[in-house]
């Protein structure tokens, strides 16, 4: 059926154009949109505002708006204009395709045009469409025929366009107009499937302890509609009613308290694009919004041991890039949620990818720890040296953490013991640590080049 349907065509003289106001009539392939403004949120929702000139008669008018989003939320539609009152609205999203055209023709008569491949002579005959389920069944005179995809040239000519099939997604609105004439009106609605994320590219220079950071807005449009020459405003934040950005493996060590003069809307930051842009359907578009050179950054190693457990073999530490978003000594901006991809230059001076991670919405002035991967040469093996019961609800656990370094230079590893739930005290430790929370202790462990360091700690656990 599908192969046959692609051979179907409409007899142009027999098919009336869809009724619409004169201002909305467009040539085939054009857009009926007016002056479009799009506000795009992180959660995949967008607000579309489309200013059009409407020709109306006094009293009741049925006005059609083609080229709205195919994923429009009809319950969010508003139409405002001087002297206009909405009576009713409908959204027709059953789009015109050859298959749909044949489906709608079931029970009706069409014209078949067969071409003799040898002579080029055409033969026409009327046929009634009986079924279009998995194949097209026709009644031609007294015979029943299955129209097969056998390669012979045949096409179907339809007398008219079904009223509920549209070439483009179309919203129809019935309004009462106070006066006749041309009225400036604004159509506004929410649509999913038009969203944006932030993508960052960081070039890290370990020798200089600095990085360059480029930030990109990535727009994604899968609404089924192109928004032409639109004024575009991006909103960083998670407004209610959408999924939002939730996966944030990157760590914000401390939330910033700084602010700048970037425009806000309530609790959200606004990023207006400098120029109008066309957001095509089924397209990703990227626009730069951040470009910082030489921001301070450093690479560190971290390992977190859960509860007071052991590993049978050494485990890689995490490679962590630390930086700040503060005005002094940092990126000097807030960072919308997104993915940071980190590069370093090799011995030939070429930038090479070393890892990536995601961050949540980050205020300016925040301290960041971005885990980019597992270290090859720096490992930790936690071992339970002894675990002794001291009473019904008291245990003494002696742990040893062996930190090894196969690099040709000394490193410092942030070693953390997590999961110290209840009343857990440290009775002895070979290296002074810091209790950063009730259930976590951290040690800064210096490890010599091509060497190892053992850290022993005795925990007194009371339940």
Q: What is the pLDDT of residues 102-122, one digit of tens each?
A: 888 888 899 988 888 888 888
- Rounded Cα distance, 207 and 91, in Å: 60
Question: How many residues are present in the chain?
Answer: 463
Tell me, yes or no, whether 124 lies in a domain: yes
Tell me, yes or no, whether 171 lies in a domain: yes
List phi, psi (to 5°) of 223: -85, -10
Q: Assess whether pLDDT exceeds 90 at residue 366.
A: yes
Question: Looking at 68-208, which runs of residues are DSSP E strands?
Answer: 78-80, 84-92, 109-115, 122-131, 136-140, 143-147, 154-158, 170-177, 181-191, 194-205
Considering only residues 14 and 178, tell me which one the structure prediction assigns the higher pLDDT.
Answer: 178
Neighbours of 389 (CB within 10 A): 9
Question: Looking at 237-276, which runs of residues are DSSP E strands?
Answer: 251-254, 264-265, 268-272
Q: Assess whether pLDDT exceeds 90 at residue 428.
A: yes
Are 169 and 72 in contact by the 8 Å Cβ rule? The answer is yes
Q: 170 and 89: one domain?
A: yes
Q: 109 and 153: one domain?
A: yes
Q: Assess whether pLDDT exceeds 70 at residue 44.
A: yes
Q: 153 and 54: one domain?
A: no
Tell me, yes or no, whether 11 lies in a domain: no
Mean pLDDT of the chain: 86
Torsion, Cα of 157, 161, 166, 168 (10° steps):
50
- Judged by average pLDDT, the poorest of 76-85, 257-266, 367-376 is 257-266
Q: 150 and 61: one domain?
A: no
pLDDT for position 150: 64
Are 271 and 233 in contact by the 8 Å Cβ rule? The answer is yes
Q: Which tokens hold the place of 278?
A: 């066309």
Q: 86 and 170: one domain?
A: yes
Tell me, yes or no, whether 4 lies in a domain: no
Give the model's confidence band at 2: pLDDT under 50 very low, under 70 low, under 90 confident, else very high.
very low
How much of the chain, in percent, has pLDDT values that exceed 70? 87
Are 295 and 323 in contact by the 8 Å Cβ rule? The answer is yes
Domain range enclosing 149? 102-157
Q: How many CA atoms lie within 13 A of 382 on its CB side?
A: 21
Are 241 and 220 in contact by the 8 Å Cβ rule? The answer is no
pLDDT for position 248: 40
| pLDDT tens track for 140-159 | 988 998 887 666 788 888 88
Query: What's the number of domains the chain is made of?
Result: 2
Q: 118 and 80: one domain?
A: no
Tell me, yes or no, whether 434 lies in a domain: no
Tell me, yes or no, whether 280 lies in a domain: no
Helix, strand, coil percent values for the chain (each to nearest 5): 5, 60, 40
Tell me, yes or no, whether 55 lies in a domain: yes
Considering only residues 399 and 1, tell me which one the structure prediction assigns the higher pLDDT.
Answer: 399
pLDDT for position 88: 87
Tell me, yes or no, whether 82 lies in a domain: yes
Q: Coil, strand or helix: which one is 241? A: coil
Pairing between β-strand 434-437 and β-strand 78-80 as defined by DSSP bridges: unpaired
- Judged by average pLDDT, the poorest of 65-69, 293-297, 307-311 is 65-69
pLDDT for position 165: 64
Q: DSSP string covering 124-144, please? A: EEEEEEEE-SSSEEEEETTEE
Pairing between β-strand 59-66 and β-strand 251-254 as defined by DSSP bridges: unpaired
How much of the chain, in percent, has pLDDT values that exceed 90? 57
Q: 146 and 175: one domain?
A: no
pLDDT for position 96: 67
pLDDT for position 457: 98
Q: DSSP string covering 332-379, please? A: -S-B-SEEEEEEEE-TTS-EEEEEEEEE--B-TT-EEEEEEEEEEEEE
List phi, psi (to 5°) of 82: -60, 125
pLDDT for position 6: 39
| Beta-carbon contacts of residue 399 (< 8 Å; ≥ 6 apart) | 305, 308, 382, 383, 384, 385, 417, 456, 457, 458, 459
Give the model's confidence band at 91: pLDDT under 50 very low, under 70 low, under 90 confident, else very high.
confident
Nearest partner of 47 among 197, 169, 223, judged by Cα? 223
Q: 88 and 122: one domain?
A: no
- Rounded Cα distance, 4 and 1, in Å: 5
Give the model's confidence band at 250: pLDDT under 50 very low, under 70 low, under 90 confident, else very high.
low
pLDDT for position 93: 58
Q: 153 and 108: one domain?
A: yes
Q: Assess whether pLDDT exceeds 50 at residue 23.
A: no
Q: 113 and 144: one domain?
A: yes
Q: 140 and 187: one domain?
A: no
Q: Assess whether pLDDT exceeds 80 at residue 11.
A: no
pLDDT for position 154: 84
Q: Assess whether pLDDT exceeds 60 at residue 307.
A: yes
Q: 187 and 146: one domain?
A: no
């Amino acid at each position: 059926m599908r192969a046959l349907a692609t051979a179907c065509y409409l007899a142009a003289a027999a098919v009336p154009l869809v009724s619409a106001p004169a201002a909305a009539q467009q040539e085939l392939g054009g857009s009926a949109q007016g002056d479009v403004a799009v506000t795009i949120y992180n959660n995949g929702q967008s607000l579309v505002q489309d200013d059009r000139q409407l020709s109306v008669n006094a009293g009741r008018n049925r006005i059609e708006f083609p080229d709205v989003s195919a994923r429009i939320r009809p319950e969010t539609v508003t139409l405002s204009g001087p002297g206009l009152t909405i009576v009713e609205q409908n959204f027709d999203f059953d789009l015109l395709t050859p298959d749909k055209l044949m489906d709608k023709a079931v029970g009706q008569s069409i014209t078949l045009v067969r071409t003799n491949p040898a002579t080029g002579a055409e033969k026409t005959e009327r046929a009634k469409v009986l079924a279009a389920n998995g194949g097209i069944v026709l009644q031609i005179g007294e015979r029943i025929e299955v129209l097969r995809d056998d390669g012979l040239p045949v096409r179907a000519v339809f007398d008219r366009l079904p009223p509920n099939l549209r070439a483009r997604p179309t919203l129809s609105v019935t309004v009462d107009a106070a006066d006749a004439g041309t009225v400036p009106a604004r159509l506004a609605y929410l649509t999913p499937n038009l969203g944006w994320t932030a993508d960052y590219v960081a070039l890290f220079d370990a020798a200089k302890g600095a990085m360059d950071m480029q930030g990109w807005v990535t727009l994604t449009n899968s609404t089924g509609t192109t928004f032409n020459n639109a004024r575009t405003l991006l909103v960083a934040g998670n407004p209610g009613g959408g999924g939002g950005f939730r996966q944030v493996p990157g760590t914000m060590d401390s939330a910033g308290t700084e602010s700048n003069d970037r425009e806000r809307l309530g609790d959200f930051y606004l990023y207006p694009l400098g120029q109008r842009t066309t957001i095509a359907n089924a397209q990703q578009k990227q626009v730069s919004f951040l470009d910082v050179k030489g921001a301070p950054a450093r690479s560190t190693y971290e390992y977190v041991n859960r509860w007071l457990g052991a590993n049978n073999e050494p485990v890689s530490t995490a490679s962590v890039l630390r930086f700040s978003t503060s005005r002094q000594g940092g990126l000097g901006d807030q960072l919308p949620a997104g993915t940071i991809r980190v590069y370093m230059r090799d011995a030939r001076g070429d930038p090479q990818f070393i890892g990536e991670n995601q961050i949540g919405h980050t205020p300016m002035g925040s301290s960041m720890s971005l885990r980019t991967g597992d270290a090859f040469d720096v490992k930790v093996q936690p071992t339970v040296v002894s675990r002794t019961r001291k009473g019904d609800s008291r245990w003494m656990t002696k742990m040893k953490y062996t930190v090894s370094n196969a690099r040709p230079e000394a490193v410092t590893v942030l070693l953390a013991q997590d999961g110290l739930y209840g009343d857990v005290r440290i009775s002895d430790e070979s290296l002074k640590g810091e209790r950063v929370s009730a259930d976590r202790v951290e040690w800064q462990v210096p490890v010599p080049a091509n060497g190892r360091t053992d850290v022993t700690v005795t925990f007194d656990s009371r339940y």
